[in-house]
Amino acid sequence: MEFEPFVLAASVDDLAAEPAARAHADAVEFRMDLADAPFAALDAYAGALPVIATNRAASEGGGAPEDGDRLDALRTAAELPAVAAVDVELATFGDEEDEGSGREGGARVVEHARANDTVAIVSAHDFEGTPPRATLCGTLTRASERGDVGKLAVTASAPADVLDLLAATHALAAEGRRVATMAMGAAGRHSRAIAPLYGSRIGYAPIDPDAATAPGQYDLATLADLIERLR
């Protein structure tokens, strides 16, 4: 899975929902942090869509505790045949624990993923606002340097925030970097449909409109239709 061209992922916390995603999605993002028994689900998975494994930390909008066990789980997920990509936060880089501690940092997750032919998405989330354009570019650059895809989600309060995010997306994509971007919140909702036009490689949407995992998400069928109409 190279995320070329754009990949639309259905965000789920239950892989049994995968058949309902097939008509519109290219992959499923499995929220391990929200699942009851994630490894049992991954071991039993026999779906048609490739899996992006996410074990999101609470500090970035997820349900997983802030400890190394969360990252160890991502390393293990990267070994599984069903998992085509893992998502690890940019914030986990540079805080590596001692060798053999069992609490591995982000760089080791990426290294392990690549050793198992699994794509590494390195992500950052800002639930407070949208930083200046130069900061957006810097964050995307660091994320794309550390992973195979750099992902950035920000919170928009005005259309100008979306313009800055799209400009950063376009600039990084023009450099040949693989990036995925979206603006959360009502003011940024439309970014999920138009960001692919500016070079974003991944979009996320829940199958059920009432099961959004981030502010401002469209449901899967709606987002798929919007993206197709804009192509």
Catalytic site positions: 125, 151
Strand partners, 149: 121
Strand partners, 121: 87, 149
- Helix and strand counts by DSSP (H, E) for the chain: 8, 8
Element (H, E) at 144: helix 133-146
**In 3D, which of 117, 114, 64 has the Cα closest to residue 89?**
64
CA distance 92 to 4: 26
| 170: Cβ contacts below 8 Å, ≥ 6 apart | 198, 199
